[in-house]
């Protein structure tokens, strides 16, 4: 082996060894928490078909509002009997948003 090749390999080996043995130059950084946000969840859960109920259009017509526990219509369906008196899911959502905004204004 030539002397320059030996010298190059020796210097490379020394740099590698000294680099691995040196303490880390980076200081540990505190992990910042993400900004506090509301928990994401599915608020309106569709109600599936119920074969024991006759004459009730369950599938796709109703949902459960998991925030209030109320049953709501998924759209402004024209339903017979008391089913047509249920609020729409959009109405429940709009009402809760209006309350949230009002509370935010009064707390400031």
Answer yes or no: is 58 within a domain: yes
The tens digit of pLDDT for each residue in 49-89 reads: 765 666 666 677 889 999 889 999 998 878 777 878 889 99
The tens digit of pLDDT for each residue in 25-41 reads: 556 666 666 666 566 67
Please count the structural domains in the chain.
1
Answer yes or no: is 96 within a domain: yes
pLDDT score of 10 more than 90: no
**The predicted structure's pLDDT at residue 38:** 62
**The predicted structure's pLDDT at residue 33:** 65
DSSP string, the chain: --HHHHHHHHHHHHHHHHHHHSPPSSPPPPPPPPPP-PPP---EEE----TTSSS---TTTEEEETTT--EEESS----SGGGGGSPBHHHHHHHHHHHHHHHHHHH-
Answer yes or no: is 79 within a domain: yes
Answer yes or no: is 76 within a domain: yes
Answer yes or no: is 26 within a domain: no
pLDDT score of 94 more than 90: yes
| Domain boundaries, position 97 | 44-103
């Amino acid at each position: 082996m030539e002397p320059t090749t030996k010298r190059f390999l020796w210097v490379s080996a020394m740099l590698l060894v000294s680099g691995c043995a040196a303490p880390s130059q980076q200081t540990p950084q505190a992990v910042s928490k993400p900004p506090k946000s509301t928990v994401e969840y599915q608020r309106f859960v569709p109600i599936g078909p119920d074969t024991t109920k006759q004459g009730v259009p369950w599938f796709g017509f109703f949902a459960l509002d998991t925030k209030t526990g109320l049953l709501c219509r998924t759209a402004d369906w024209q339903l017979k009997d008391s089913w047509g008196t249920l609020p729409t899911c959009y109405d429940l959502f709009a009402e809760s948003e209006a309350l949230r905004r009002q509370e935010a204004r009064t707390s400031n």
